[in-house]
Chain A
Amino acid sequence: MVLVETQNFASLQEKNKKNKNNMEVENAVKTGEVAEMEKMASQVRRDILRMVHACSSGHPGASLGCTEFFVALYSKILKHNTKFTMEGKNEDLFFLSNGHISPVWYSVLARSGYFPVSELKTFRKLDSRLQGHPATAEHLEGIRIASGSLGQGLSVALGAAQAKKLNKEDNLVYVLMGDGEQQEGQVWEAAMYAAHNKLDNVIATIDYNGQQIDGPIAKVLDLMDLAAKYRSFGWVVIEEPKGNDMQSVLNVMKKAKSLTGKKQPVMILLKTDMGYGVDFMVGTHKWHGQAPNDEQLANALSQLEQTLGDY
């Protein structure tokens, strides 16, 4: 008896040690992984600022705020193929509903290998494929629908998700919306439709930065308890308060993934800071749609390490 117990204890100890080692190794990998992603985020933020500066227009605020989301999505979450097809068969799809934050999307698409990084310099210029707001007409790889007029992206994502189900594909459809965008009625038509039809292959995220053009959302037209609203519409809602912390963003997206396939659409309310990463831009709506001048750009870039080489 005793012998058996001892043996058991020893093997248990051995097992625990192995587990601990594994966990440590895993954590180390994670740290390395997250460090890589943070490096990419720094470069993406530089791209955003240089892009909007070069054409003296565009929307840096929420682009900077959503950088962790895009980097995490494209580097670790999305099952995607950079050899782009419109149909995206057997791939996960992503739709950007708040199309004005195109700079962050273009940068991440380019840095993920969808099109040459050098093309970022054409942003918002004549004959560019990088239109002010995302478009399909110029056949930019990675873009499947035009957006910019707010409120439409969730509906499109739901249609794409229903097509995936009809085609018996088990891939997921992701969509990002703004929080101010939630004031659009169509969003709630879509929210109702998604839950009624049990579209459990959809993960929506709201960039919950609390700002819109005319000021804080709470002042312009308060969303009140947004989580409760979506829950009452039949969604599973996860709230992530640290939307600019890479590890937290990665974790919440993995969690969202684990909640799919359960007969309910999944919503992430991702608290971010508009303008994150640049001290004089952070936390205000002032930089929603405002490009920095030469001096401001130099100041901003001095705060962000060039990690992958500027375009």
Chain B
Amino acid sequence: MKKYTFTEKFDTRSGFGAGLLELGRTNPNVVGLCADLIGSLKMGDFQKEFPERFFQMGISEANMMGVAAGLTIGGKIPFTGTFANFSTGRVYDQIRQSIAYSGKNVKICASHAGLTLGEDGATHQILEDLGLMKMLPGMAVINTCDFNQTKAATIAIAKYEGPVYLRFGRPVVPNWTPKDQVFEVGKAVLLNEGKDVTIVATGHLVWEAIKAGEILEQKGIDAEIINIHSIKPFDEKAVLASVNKTRCVVSAEEHQMNGGLGDSVAQLLARTNPAPLEMVAVNDSFGESGTPEQLMIKYGLSAQNIVDAALKAIARKSK
């Protein structure tokens, strides 16, 4: 098992803030919009340095999506910022009509996604956003795993023509991906080569997948681990190549089983090359208040859950 280490922990949302600031300095067309959550979204540095390119929207997410769509008509590249719930479910029809169907170059940037938002509870913990967004024709959907990757993704999507949903989170997590990584929309990242089981993970679950790989190694199991930062476009080729070798898969994500990464993997396998699939995801339930760590354990999204799922998938394969 390839070794992955980290020296610092950061929140992914700070990666977004850092990426946006850098974009501000390098791309004069980039503008920022935020619905009364500048601190939470880490957009303060951009606002300070580029006040004329920053728009405080107030608590008006629907208007924010429309204004962003309008700004693209004048050649701007708007980055909207609010919590994941208010970036998607709250404004689904606005995104659908004014951004996706109209083919507008808006970057919808969403923090505090999933259970790891923690104590605020289920009203804020959206676990349906990846599904909502990936169903929209033409919408790219990205879910990053750490600070460095979120920063790289933020910078990369400014160059990607078309609407993008970029999802990140609130808690501090290990910062372990390379600082100088090249982020390619739609390209899976192979983290470890293995032959017994394929683990595809996204977002905060990627680090859990690495920990799971280490536990599995001690049991003599050789796991192939893939970081799927792009839910859509989905790197089918990379996943299929791996499954052809391992013949079973585990998907892992901080999202509902319905509509998420596992759902995309299941579709792919059913269409092309059926193989046992175990999904580590939230199973048709809302979240609740608690610390991020407690919630990830209670809802079955830990490294141990991935290990258990891998053993199950391997057992199904031998039958």
Contact = CB atoms under 8 A, between A and B. Distances in A.
Contact of B62 (A161, A163, A186): A186
Interface string A173-187: 000000000000110
Contact of A159 (B53, B60, B67, B93): B67
Interface string A127-161: 00000000111000000111111011111111111
B100 to A, nearest CB: 9
Given A137-B101, A147-B97, A186-B94, A163 B70 contact: yes
B74 A152 contact: no
Interface residues of A, number: 38
Given A145-B102, A148-B97, A149-B97, A163 B63 contact: no
A163 B102 contact: no
B55 interface: yes
A158 B70 contact: yes
Given A87-B74, A159-B73, A166 B53 contact: yes
Given A152-B66, A158-B67, A159-B66, A189 B74 contact: no
Contacts of A164: 74
Interface in B51-104: 52-53, 55, 57-58, 60, 62-76, 78, 93-94, 96-98, 101-104
Contact of A190 (B31, B66, B97, B102): B66
Interface string B262-274: 0000000000000
Contacts of A95: 70
Given A145-B102, A167-B75, A162 B70 contact: yes
Interface of A: 86-88, 93, 95, 135-137, 144-149, 151-164, 166-167, 185-186, 189-190, 192-193, 196-197
Interface of B: 31, 52-53, 55, 57-58, 60, 62-76, 78, 93-94, 96-98, 101-104
13 contacts: A86-B73, A135-B101, A136-B102, A145-B69, A146-B97, A146-B101, A146-B102, A152-B97, A153-B66, A159-B73, A162-B74, A166-B31, A193-B67
In order of increasing CB-CB distance, the 4 nearest A-B pairs are: A159-B70, A163-B74, A155-B66, A189-B60
